[in-house]
Amino acid sequence: MDFPIFHLDGMGNRMLIAVIAILHVLINHGLAVGAMPLIAFLEWRGIKTGDRRWDDLAYRFLFFCFIITTTVGALTGVGIWLSASLVNPYSIGSLIRIFFWGWFLEWIIFVTEVVLILVYFLTWKKWIGEQKEKHNRFGWALGIFSWITMALIVAILAFMMNTGDWKNKPSLWVAFFNPLYLPQLSFRTPLALVTAGLLGMFLTYFMIRNDRDFRNQALQLFSKWVIFFIPPLVLGAWWYWSSVPRAMTGHLATALTTMGFTEWHEHLIKGSMVGILVIAGISLLSLWKPNRVPRFAVLLPFVITLVLLGYFERIREFIRKPYVIPGYMYSNTYRLEDYPLLQKEGVLAHSTYSVVKNSKEITGANQVQAGRDVFMLTCTRCHTSNGMNGVTAKFEKMLGKGEWDREVVANYVENMHGSRTFMPPFPGNADELKALAAYLSQLRQNPEKSLGSQNEGIYGVPSKDFNLTLNPQ
């Protein structure tokens, strides 16, 4: 089967997914996976010391996390599914078939997590006295289930970077326990805990206003929490980095910046290292001299952590290119095993949603339209025409602002995978390559937006006499 082609020519499809996914990861790691065990620990400390102030601080912290995770966190979680299904339904379909029971289990765990946070939050003021320890156990259970949710999803994220022996032994367990699963999980777990501790340090200034002595105690506790988990974070990062395939780490310079600024990647790496030192330094200062730490100083390491976490997600998504599933499916949604057929018969012959139905029908009159169809089918998962990551801007850097020679454009597209290995090979045949070059060349003189199916355009209406399909999943 085939799907209508959804495309945003302004912000681009990949930016749509990136904004939603990164926001979700920031909330999931900091306010769910990391914060829930920290909150349970604060409540436990209040029970053991008999100091009601720790219990009040834990409740305020939970209230903040409860509001954010059940609103923005939940919406962005659904948003990832919606955006990914719109932009790349083939890859989502493949991943669902591979990880069906894993995703099904994750759904059950997530529902349990929602029930636990509701019980934990709504019974906080009611389960007191002898019931307090029972209530605290719900907090620890919530922390465990939050971590299990992440642990299940990390298996899929790691699989999208290294499938291991899955192609030879196609089973859920081989896919789940891929070579990058444990290294990535060992990195994300302490990262979430460190992020939660830094958030606690920052929120302390707003949650404890009139008790300077207790605020200093809270800052010291959060600092100990952060410092305790920094060593496993560093070790997990080293294990994860050393496990990433070398072919992917070769894309790091471009992943860190952009095509035009790859020479700055060393500065960004050094800046990240300085940021980690700032986090450790302020945490140590908060531990030894909490009364001398201004509010902006505890905000800085938290912001740095969010920036680094967001950039980590960008890098993880980029370095796995040109694949969406390594060795199986390219980021343009075409399977590697389908390339011989597509490069012989063409992508138009196997597309429901296109104006020109076959490369044999390409003429001088419809060549540009055929090229537009090929562009929508093979390029728009990552590129726009004139928006973010637009092809016109990229060709202008290479060919200038004058008229582009179609043969030069076609030659570049045909050989781009050899020079820029993070881009998939062109999947179509020779006639479609010429048509694509014609379309890209005329974009220089006639800029236009590439409209997707959501605009009620042609890429949402199947050809009436279409009778040939290919399922690239």
Q: What pLDDT sits at residue 288? A: 66
Q: What pLDDT sits at residue 472? A: 34
Given 312, 330, 348, the domain boundary residue is: 330
In a shared domain, residues 321 and 351? no
Q: What pLDDT sits at residue 166? A: 96
Q: What pLDDT sits at residue 453? A: 79
Please check whether residue 472 lies inside any domain of the structure.
no
In a shared domain, residues 323 and 390? no
In a shared domain, residues 288 and 395? no
In a shared domain, residues 140 and 280? yes
In a shared domain, residues 155 and 77? yes
pLDDT digits (tens, 9 = 90+) for 305-319: 888 888 788 888 888
Question: Does the global pTM surpass 0.85?
Answer: yes
Please check whether residue 415 lies inside any domain of the structure.
yes
How confident is the chain (473 residues) per 10-residue block, as mean pLDDT? Answer: 80 88 91 96 96 96 95 92 89 93 94 95 93 95 96 96 94 96 96 93 88 89 92 92 86 61 50 64 68 70 80 84 93 94 93 86 90 92 87 84 85 90 93 94 80 73 46 35
Given 269, 303, 330, the domain boundary residue is: 330
The chain-wide mean pLDDT, for the chain, equals 86
In a shared domain, residues 278 and 379? no
Q: What pLDDT sits at residue 303? A: 80
Counting beta carbons within 10 angstroms of the beta carbon of residue 400, is it exposed (0 to 12), middle (13 to 18) or buried (19 or more)?
exposed
Q: What pLDDT sits at residue 286? A: 66
Please check whether residue 164 lies inside any domain of the structure.
yes
Q: What is the largest CA-CA distance in the chain?
A: 84
In a shared domain, residues 249 and 392? no
Q: What pLDDT sits at residue 364? A: 86
In a shared domain, residues 356 and 420? yes
Please check whether residue 6 lies inside any domain of the structure.
no
In a shared domain, residues 86 and 152? yes
Q: What pLDDT sits at residue 109? A: 95
Given 265, 298, 330, the domain boundary residue is: 330
In a shared domain, residues 227 and 315? yes
Please check whether residue 3 lies inside any domain of the structure.
no
Please check whether residue 473 lies inside any domain of the structure.
no
Please check whether residue 8 lies inside any domain of the structure.
no
Q: Tell me the CB-side half-sphere exposure of residue 162, using CA atoms within 13 A.
A: 21
Please check whether residue 128 lies inside any domain of the structure.
yes
Work out how many domains the chain is built from and give that number: 2
The CATH number of the domain holding residue 113 is 1.20.1630.10
In a shared domain, residues 391 and 299? no
In a shared domain, residues 133 and 243? yes
Q: What pLDDT sits at residue 233? A: 92
Q: Which domain holds residue 378?
A: 336-460
